[in-house]
Amino acid sequence: MTIKRLARAACATGALMLSACGQTAPPATQAAATTTATQPAPTGDAALIQSAMSAAPGAVAQDATIMAMGADGSMRQLRAGHNGFTCIPDSPATPGPDPMCADANAMQWVDAWLHHRTPPAGKVGFMYMLAGGTDASNTDPYATAPTSQNHWVQTGPHVMILNAPSLLQNYPHNADPDTSKPYVMWAGTPYEHLMVPVR
């Protein structure tokens, strides 16, 4: 979910590759790896920033504004950015990883969704959720838990195209989609959007 976990995975992959080749890391590299592994995990705003940045490619995340969302939907800026994207960290209230990074139009869509308003017409938005997304209802934008009738889906890393109704016509609108392929989530609501898996 976070860059720290990705870094650990990368370190583990590198160690496995050396082992498979019958090699060991040079002493200096081993010492550096030990130092890195023992560093404490970031806390507070640093942890929130790290989580938010895991949502998008590094080239996007490094220049994005980082905002933290309060339980009441209010936003607090953690870091100013300058590329038009805003990244939000994982919500501790949800069961899975769900940091997101969105362009300005997508943030207007998110605001409309959070406040139960219709998204502004003609403003197509783009959002990254490369750390994955909390499993959700595919039919009810405000469902908080699975039921026998709200078609819960599991989502992995993906991007979303928001507020583009004409684009959605050629993609599956069914309530129980194959989430390994592009599909429409929340079809028939003001918040319908295209989900595009990336792995």
As a whole number of angstroms, the distance between CA 199 and CA 55 comes to 14
CB 101 within 8 A of CB 119: no
Give me the helices (H) in the chain, please.
3-20, 27-38, 44-53, 58-61, 104-114
pTM (predicted TM-score)? 0.75
pLDDT of residue 143: 86
> Which residues in the chain come in under a pLDDT of 50?
1-36
| Residue burial 143-178, b: 16+ Cβ < 10 Å; e: rest | eeeeeeebbbbebbebbbbbbbeeebeebeeeeebe
Tally helices (H) and strands (E) across the chain. Answer: 5, 10
For the chain, the domains span 1-41, 45-197
18 with 94: CB under 8 angstroms?
no
